Amino acid sequence: MDINSQSSKPHDFPSDDQNYLSGFGNSFESEAIDGSLPHSQNSPLKCPFGLYAEQISGSSFTSPRKLNQRSWLYRIKPSVTHEPFKPRSPIHGKLVSEFDKTNSCTTPTQLRWKPFDIPVSPTDFVDGLFTICGAGSSFLRHGFAIHIYTANKSMDNSSFCNADGDFLIVPQIGRLWITTECGRLQVSPGEVVVLPQGFRFAVDLPDGPSRGYVAEIFGSHFQLPDLGPIGANGLSAPRDFLVPKAWFEQGSRPGYTIIQKFGGELFTAKQDFSPFNVVAWHGNYVPYKYDLKKFCPYNTVLIDHSDPSINTVLTAPTDKPGVALLDFVIFPPRWLVAEHTFRPPYYHRNCMSEFMGLIYGAYEAKADGFLPGGASLHSCMTPHGPDTNTYEATIAQGNNAGPHKIKDTLAFMFESCLIPRICLWAVESPSVDHDYYQCWIGLKSHFSQGADVNSNGL
C-alpha cells in the first residue's frame, strides 16, 4: 500500500501513473496504510490506528439495495470538526440551483456562445464557475444546471463541497488534478469526472489556465444506460471507469476553508486540518473518471442516421421509463458508411432540450462558427440541424460517397427532458453569437416537381 502524509501536498502531484480501482457501481475498498480498514463491521468501538468512522450517504437508507449508495470513511479527524458556516463574502452571484423568473428567462430561439474567455486576474475553480442554464430546483430534489468554469489558479488551503447535487465535469483546456476524500484523480481534456453530492474536493491546475463544462443534477445519480437490443457489450464499459485509491494528508492546516454550495449559495467554514485525511474507505458512493477514447460507438451500417441516444455515456433517469433527467452523449471519431443517406444529423425538433459543447476539432453538422470551448442550446421543440454549408457540401457528394471517417473531433451533448431557463448573464454575455441564426438562412429550396420521386436510388 502507498503510505502518504502531509509531505505530499495536493499541488505536488506526480505523473498519473498511479493505479486506480476500476469498475462502475462496484463496492470498493482501499487503504493507504495496511490494516487501517476495519473488517467484519463498519463502526467498531475503536477503529484501527485510532481513526474515526464516518459514513457518507448518496441515497436514503431504505432505498432498494440496487439503488443504495454509501461509503464508509476512516479518517484522522471527523468532518464535523469545523466552525459554524457563514455566507461567503463576497457573494458569488452567478451560481444557480433554483430556476425561476427572478434569475433566468426562457426563449425558444436557438442560442450559441463563442468560447468564454479565461480571466486574467487570479481565479480558481470555484470563483470561475458560473451557470449558463438549468431547470427545476435543488430544494425540490429534481432538476439540473449547466455551468462553465474558467480558471487560472489552483485552489489554496480550501476545498469545495456541493450539497446540491452531482457534478459531471468535462475539461476542455488544461488538466485538472482533483483531490477528493477518497483519493486523487488526474482528469485531462478528453476525460470526464463525476464528483457525487456531498464529497469535498479541491481542484489544482498543473497546466495553468483551464476551461470546461459542468453538468449538475439534483436528486439523482448518473448510471450506465441500458443497452437493449445492442446486447451485453458496447458504449461505455463498466471496467473503464476509474476510482481513486486512498490517499491522505495529516498535520495542522490553520485557517483551512470549507466552501459549501447549498441551495445555490456559497457558505464557508474554518477548520485547522485538511478534509483529505481519510486513511481508508470502502463502499460504492465514490468519485470516478472516464476516458472518452474508450467509448465503443455503434452506428448505421446500411441506411439512415442513428438517433444520438446511441452515443450515451451516462444517464440520470427519471421515474418515467426511457426519459432522462440528463443524458451525457458524445460524438467521437467514427466511420460513416450509410448508403443513399444524408449522413450528418438530420433536421429535427425534439421533446428533449439539447446543450452542446465542443472539446476539440470541428463538429460534423456545423462547418463554421461552433468552436472548441463554445456551446449551443436548442430547447424543447426548437428546430435545428446542419448549417447551410454542411448541407450543400453533403448533397453535392451525391450517392457515390464512400466510407468516411470522422476524426480529430470530440463533441458532446447534455440532453434533458426539462425545459431550461437561461441565466441573464449568459443571455447578455459578450460570448453570445448573435448571428447564429444566419447559418440556416442560406438554406434554399431544392424542390422540383420534375425530380425523380425515388431519387435515393432504392
Catalytic positions are 305, 348, 354, 378, 384
Q: What residues have CB less than 8 Å from 324, skipping those under 6 apart?
A: 315, 316, 317, 318, 352, 415, 416, 417
Enter the C-alpha cell of residue 437: 441564426
Enter the C-alpha cell of residue 367: 462547418
**What sign does the dihedral 332-333-339-342 (CA atoms) show?**
positive
Vertex 200 angle, CA 197 and 204, to 5°: 120
Q: In what order do the strands lie in the sheet with 375-378?
A: 111-113, 375-378, 353-360, 410-416, 324-331, 312-317
Vertex 64 angle, CA 59 and 66, to 5°: 90
* 256 beta partners: 271
CA pair distance 418, 106, nearest whole angstrom: 12
- To the nearest 10°, the Cα dihedral for 160, 161, 166, 171? 10
Residue 31's H or E segment, with its range, is strand 28-31
Is 116 within 8 Å of 148 (Cβ atoms)? yes
CA pair distance 311, 328, nearest whole angstrom: 9
Neighbours of 305 (CB within 10 A): 17
Enter the C-alpha cell of residue 379: 430547447
